[in-house]
Each structure stands twice: as C-alpha cells, then as structure tokens.
Amino acid sequence: METGKQIELTEQQKKSRRARNIALALLLAAFAIILYIGTWAKFGANILNRAL
C-alpha cells in the first residue's frame, strides 16, 4: 500500500465534516447541560450533604 500520500477532501466532504463537527459539539454541550440540570433536579441541595 502506498504511503506518504495526502488525501484532498472535496468541497462537499469538507462541508459535511464541518456540519458533523458542529452537530457533535452542540450535542455534547446539550448532554453536559442535561446532566447538570438533572443532577440538581434529582438531588437538589442534598448534593452538598455528604461526608467530607
């Protein structure tokens, strides 16, 4: 197999890769927010009530 050769992405491939990256970033951010809100909703202030 030939090595050392760059692959040139087509415009369509670049465009779709960028769109996928943005979608993934938004989904990860949404997931973090969901866990944050969910944790507060489930435990409330009790989240701080633990042995130190």
Could you give the CA distance from residue 22 to residue 16 in angstroms, rounded to a whole number?
A: 10
Q: Does 45 bind another protein (CB under 8 A)?
A: no
> Is 6 a binder of another protein (CB under 8 A)?
yes
Instruction: State the Cα–Cα distance between residues 43 and 35, nearest whole angstrom.
Output: 12
CA dist 15 → 12, 22, 24 (Å):
5, 11, 14
Q: Does residue 34 belong to the site contacting another protein (CB under 8 A)? A: yes
Output the smallest distance, CB 26 to another protein, in A.
9
User: By the criterion CB under 8 A, which residues form the site for another protein?
Assistant: 1-7, 9-10, 12-13, 16-17, 19-20, 22-23, 31, 34-35, 37-42
